[in-house]
Amino acid sequence: MMAGQRPTTSAAPADTGRHAYLQNKVTRRRAIGPGLRTFLIFAVLVGLGALIFPSSYFYRVGTLVWINTLAVTGIVVLLGYVGLVSLGHAGFFAIGAYATAILPNYGVPSPLAMLSGVLLAGLLALVVGRPILKLSGYYLAIATLGLGMLIWMVLSKEAWLTGGPDGMTVSGMNARNLFKMVGLNLKSAEAWYWVAGFTAAIGAAIAVNLAGSPSGRSLRAIHDSDVAARSLGIDVARAKSRAFVISALYAAVAGGLLALANGYITPETGGFMHSVEMVTMAVLGGATSVFGALVGALILTALPQVLTVFADYEHMLLGGIMVVTMIAMRRGLVPFIADLWTRRKS
């Protein structure tokens, strides 16, 4: 080797191989797509739950988790993507539930009754959304709270139609019949678990695809700044109204599923506390992610069942866990865990 000449190394081939590996990895991810990947992850989680649940009680709790996940996914679209807080979304949930319960009494098939409730919730959100969404901050929260309270009052007072405060039974479709058509004989709780789980998976995939679309990017631009979004040519009022309607549709579908799975509903499905519960699920899990919706729904649906062993201290423990979680993880559990994972990899 001549003086001053540096020894050659194999760094270049190694770098080339690593670059090719990373490029292939990115290509595979793009081939799958974020929406399909989200659906597959949710589907695997649904299957894992079915494998470990020992009784119908656990299937019942699992069904509630997936129904709440679907409803909270709509909150993620509104709160996480656009930054709008709604304290009246339980009203849309109740519209879906009561339409599914009432219309079969007049000869309407359950699937069509549920679809009618979803369309009614979307239409109401479209009509009231434009004037309400001109507000912001706590003014918007109070306006949506008033909308939710109006829906709750109608459901509570019109006993001739809704059964009043006592609620009403829901007759109609049984999910077992759907699986019997393909030769599967499942218990009712198991059948509704699978229906709710895969509906939530489809809803999550749609929300993820929305986030990556031009419409989703415009929603996120509004989340950062209305003024900046307008300067980019985005119709802010129309985009906010679209997000409000989409979130209402999610809530109504979840309400219809709950009515069919429960076989009984009360006006409390449209009550203020239910709206607060849905927003809390989104914030606790992480309002910017559909996986945050799942984690938040899992915690606030399943954890109270676990804490019942503490009897009188159940609510105090649940509240304490939530307070500590939000102090330590202000963006929610899923973003906090994602940040930890990113720092560890780097």
For residue 187, what pLDDT is reported? 80
pLDDT score recorded for residue 1 = 46
What are the sequence ranges of the domains in the chain?
Answer: 57-278
pLDDT at 318: 73
Q: What is the DSSP letter of 7?
A: P
Q: For residue 219, give Cα distances in angstroms to 281, 294, 336, 344.
A: 21, 22, 23, 31
Q: Which ranges of the chain have pLDDT less than 70?
A: 1-31, 182-183, 185, 309, 311, 314
What confidence score (pLDDT) does residue 45 get?
Answer: 95
CB 290 within 8 Å of CB 73: yes
CA dist 153 and 165 (Å) reads 10
The pLDDT, as a whole number, for residue 15 is 52
* CA dist., res. 86 & res. 42, Å (int): 26
Residue 2 has a pLDDT of: 45
Among 88, 89, 98, residue whose Cα is nearest residue 265: 98
Radius of gyration of the CA atoms of the chain, in A = 23
Count of Cβ atoms closer than 10 Å to residue 12 Cβ? 9
pLDDT at 58: 92
Q: Supply the DSSP symbol for 106.
A: G
pTM value is: 0.87
The fraction of the chain above a pLDDT of 90, given in percent, is 46
CA distance 258 to 312: 28
Q: Which residues pair with 264 in a beta bridge?
A: 169
How distant, in Å, are the alpha carbons of 16, 90, 159, 263 from that of 273?
57, 8, 21, 21
Per-residue model confidence (pLDDT) at position 24: 55
Residue type at position 165: P
Phi, psi (rounded to 5 degrees) for 168: -155, 155
Choose among 318, 287, 320, 286: nearest CA to 300: 318
